[in-house]
Chain A
Amino acid sequence: MEISGKVNKQAQFTELFDKHYTKVFSLCKGYFNGNDTLASDSAQEVFIKIWESLDSFRGESNISTWIYRISVNTCLLYLRKQSTKKEKTTSVFPPIATEQYSLEEEEKLQKMYGCIQKLEEKEKMITLMMLEGIGYKEISEVVGITEEALRVRIHRIKKNLTQCVQHGKI
């Protein structure tokens, strides 16, 4: 009985990993100013927490909401619990040049990362979830504000982010 329970848990975890790891990684990457190493470390920490807490998931929310909550809360405190040496690495934006980007687009993407870093922590998380295509209802459940309040915030964020990429100021 115990063995089959463990096998079920492993199968469920593998499914969650396959479905959500890339999105969690992208969220963390945005939060850590495009730093792949920090994104990878924190995304792994998120999934370790998911493994540890999977038994306690009661289905009170969507499992994706549950995963994003763990992701947001983990990324938020990840660096602050680490050494200051690691903390400094977020100020360095790593090169992200790929063939998919024109020079102008690459510059805009770098500016986007920079502008996101200028936002308040909550807004940063909202922006990143929005950019990752997570629905408003789900974002509001992850952050803990009403959907209405979220819509107002997102409207403002979109405006500010566009302005910031264009003029460098929020």
Chain B
Amino acid sequence: MEKFDELQTIWNKQSNNVGKTSAEKLMKKGEAHIKKVRAGHWGTITIISVLAIVLIGYFFWMKAYQKNGLTIGLTLMIVVMIVRVLLEWMSAIRFRSILPDIPLAEFSAKMQLYYEWRKKIHTIFIPIIYTLYMMGFTLLLPSFKANLSHGMYLYCVISGYGFLTLFGLFLIRLLRKEMKLLKFLKGLN
């Protein structure tokens, strides 16, 4: 291994420019990150709760329970939104439970299991949720047409379907990214 020893000597001669950082700076970043994670956690709960309250409020304000299409449409949207949030919440808890201080073999196996679970969410649950949400929104349209001005109705249709299309594209991008990661993790075994 004489040649390798030579390589080792060359490797050891490197001078590393580690950049400008300090323990103090990183402690501050660490604290900020902890706060951000907590804020994100409560932020998600708040946003979803507000959305659910708005939808439920709209349900009663419109006396939707007296109108078939509106009842089914709003109920579908509320239920699938809650299911979607619960799934994301479960994913976040599951992801956070994989600590980075375990051996590489165990870490990659756990990450692989996590992304297999994400694959199931993306390929089974999300298409169902997306379709039901789209159906729910479509069922609301006759009520919008009857109760809103023509301009406002058009705005609701375009922005609603536009948002759903963009969101669908975002989900496809996310799926591709996570599947690439899963493929990489499988390659580690």
Pair from one complex: yes
Let me know if B13 is at the binding interface, CB within 8 A. yes
B137 CB to closest chain A CB (Å) equals 31
Q: From DSSP, what is the main secondary structure of chain A's interface residues?
A: helix
Inter-subunit contact A48/B26 (CB<8 Å): yes
Within 8 Å by CB of A69, from B7, B8, B16, B102, lies: B102
Q: Which chain B residues in 144-189 approach chain A with CB under 8 Å?
A: 180-181, 184, 187-188
By beta carbon, the residue of chain A nearest B29 is A48
Interface string of A137-170 (1 = CB under 8 A from B): 0000111110000000000001101100110000
By beta carbon, the residue of chain A nearest B189 is A122
Q: Which chain B residues in 21-36 approach chain A with CB under 8 Å?
A: 21-24, 26-27, 29-31, 33-34
Inter-subunit contact B101/A69 (CB<8 Å): yes
Within 8 Å by CB of A25, from B18, B181, B188, lies: B18
Inter-subunit contact B104/A158 (CB<8 Å): no
Inter-subunit contact B104/A73 (CB<8 Å): yes
**Given the complex, which residues of B lie within 8 Å of A120, measured CB to CB?**
187-188
B175 CB to closest chain A CB (Å) equals 15
By beta carbon, the residue of chain B nearest A121 is B188
**Given the complex, which residues of A lie within 8 Å of B103, measured CB to CB?**
69, 141-144
Let me know if B66 is at the binding interface, CB within 8 A. no
Q: From DSSP, what is the main secondary structure of chain B's interface residues?
A: helix
Inter-subunit contact A70/B18 (CB<8 Å): no
Inter-subunit contact B4/A109 (CB<8 Å): no
Let me know if B3 is at the binding interface, CB within 8 A. yes
Inter-subunit contact A105/B3 (CB<8 Å): no
Given known contacts A18-B23, A166-B3, A73 and B17 CB-to-CB distance under 8 angstroms: no
**Given the complex, which residues of A lie within 8 Å of B101, measured CB to CB?**
53, 57, 66, 69-70, 73
Within 8 Å by CB of A98, from B7, B15, B104, B180, lies: B15
A32 CB to closest chain B CB (Å) equals 13
By beta carbon, the residue of chain B nearest A131 is B11
Which of B72-80, B105-113, B116-124, B126-134 lies on the face that meets chain A? B105-113
- Contacts A73-B107, A76-B107 supplied; 12 other A-B pairs, CB < 8 Å: A22-B16, A47-B30, A48-B30, A52-B30, A69-B101, A100-B15, A105-B10, A112-B11, A122-B104, A142-B103, A145-B105, A165-B3
Which residues of B are interface residues toward A (Cβ below 8 A)? 1, 3-4, 7-8, 10-11, 13-19, 21-24, 26-27, 29-31, 33-34, 99-108, 111, 180-181, 184, 187-188
Residue pairs across A and B with Cβ atoms less than 8 A apart, 10 shown, are: A10-B27, A18-B23, A40-B21, A80-B180, A125-B104, A141-B103, A145-B105, A159-B4, A162-B1, A166-B3
